[in-house]
Structure 1
Amino acid sequence: MPITHLSQDPVFARIIAETPAPKPFYDWENDIYLALLESIVSQQISTKAADAIFRRLLGLFPDNYPHPNALLAKSTDELRSAGLSFQKIKYLQSVAEFALTNRMDRPFFDTMTDEEIVQYLIPIKGVGRWTVEMLLMFVLDRPDVFPVDDLVIRQSMLRAYADQTAGLTGKALYRRLHEIAEPWRPHRTLACRYLWRWKGVVPASNTLPEVTPAR
């Protein structure tokens, strides 16, 4: 059982005990293309604003689905009317262009490793590793994803494992976070979903150092 496995880490056992169990979440199950469009719309804005803009974007199409050819046929002004910035419009168009010439179906991705999927999708403008990792977790249901570049994941780990990360910064801290998460395999996705929900408190005297992602 995943919970039993994660609870072998005494620190994580406390996190589980203090945190409501994550609920199943599949926003665009099996639709990788649509999930990428939504992730781009959601970048750097609130969830409420992103939801409203994405609904307006879908409403620009007769069947409420921005098929790649249909999306590319829309003018900049039409797409701007949904509330999209010029940069996000370029990113959405990049996803659509990619989808026209590359496979984006679930059976295709099911043959690939997590890292192969990351490398397959990050050439798309506007799509980075974090975006693909969210897709792996919430659309493709991959069980062992560890998005260490996610700010909430990092800060939650620094709260919970303060004694193991004290004094570390930069790449040394980045490596240590990976080492802490290693025993969570093969259930790191579930572990991260707990870390997102955990309401750990940072001591007033504790300053969270910044993590420099490995290159």
Structure 2
Amino acid sequence: MNKAIVDILKRDSVIAQLADTLEVKPLPVTNDIYIDMLENIISQQLSGRVATTIFNRFLDLFPDRYPNPNHLLKFDDLELRKVGLSGAKTIYLKAMAEFAMNHDLAVDSIQRLPDDEVIKLLTQVKGVGVWTAQMLLIFSLGRNDVFPVDDLAIRQGMAELYHLKSDGKRLRHDLLQISERWAPYRTWGTRLVWAYVNSKKQNAARV
């Protein structure tokens, strides 16, 4: 992290301590939003290790390990299920393929959109919620100010780090309020919390 980011994050003593002990590096910008969205859909509600295994098995089904949208749409659902995909995720992956065939997902085009517009665009796809779109913003587009408040690892990690006893809507409110201290670099605070969780549970989250 550069000095400007660290200086902002040090407004929060908890995050400042994490920044002193954990390393979070810049992420490269993707060259393929479609394939990243397929991976994000597969990753929903799974640990990092399990998601990676299933995603690789999924890629192995296709020539050159690339699920061309037209090919994916025609692919037999039962064969997709055999690699560990649920019936719902099979539907969502095909919905993403159809969306990619009918919308401009070029990186240059998507990068011109503000965060909320990217989320609005991608959540048109069946099975893609705000969290899934936020993962694209963070890991594929390198956006600096994203806070996935509904991420399980974030909720658990921050509840522990900040000694929060609230739950439900109150916990959500508390987390959003804490994250405001990190703006405009909430992504970096988020990734430090993930790094903290990963330091305790190796496959809990990407960082």
* TM-score (ref. length: structure 2): 0.84
Q: 1:170 aligns with which of 168, 171, 180?
A: 168
| Alpha-carbon shift at residue 15 of structure 1 (Å) | 2.6
User: For residues 170 and 81 of structure 2, what CA distance do their matches in structure 1 show?
Assistant: 43
Is the 8 Å Cα contact of residues 30 and 140 (structure 1) preserved in structure 2? no
Task: Quote the offset at 1:169 in angstroms.
Answer: 4.2
- How far off its partner does 1:119 sit? 1.1
Counterpart code for 2:185: H
Do the aligned partners of 2:44 and 2:132 also contact (CA within 8 Å) in 1?
no
1:37 partner letter: L
Q: Could you tell me the percent identity over the aligned residues? A: 44
Q: Which residue of 2 aligns with 1:161?
A: 162
1:67 offset after TM fit, Å?
0.9
Question: Residue 182 of structure 1 aligns with which residue?
Answer: 180
Give the match's secondary structure for 1:149: coil
Q: Which residue of 2 aligns with 1:191?
A: 189
| Bigger helix fraction | 2
Structure whose alpha-carbon radius of gyration is higher: 1
| 1:41-190 equivalences in 2 (<5 Å) | 41-162=42-163, 165=164, 168-190=166-188
The answer to whether 1:13 aligns with 2:22 is no
Distance 2:139 2:197 in 1: 21
Structure 1-normalised TM-score?
0.81
Superposed CA offset, 1:69-92 (max 9, x none)? 011121223323433222221111
1:5 Cα shift? 1.6
Gaps of 5+ in 2: 199-207
CA RMSD of aligned residues (A): 2.2
Which of structures 1 and 2 has the larger relative contact order (alpha carbons within 8 angstroms, sep 6+)? 2
Contact kept in structure 1, 2:69 and 2:98, CA below 8 Å: yes
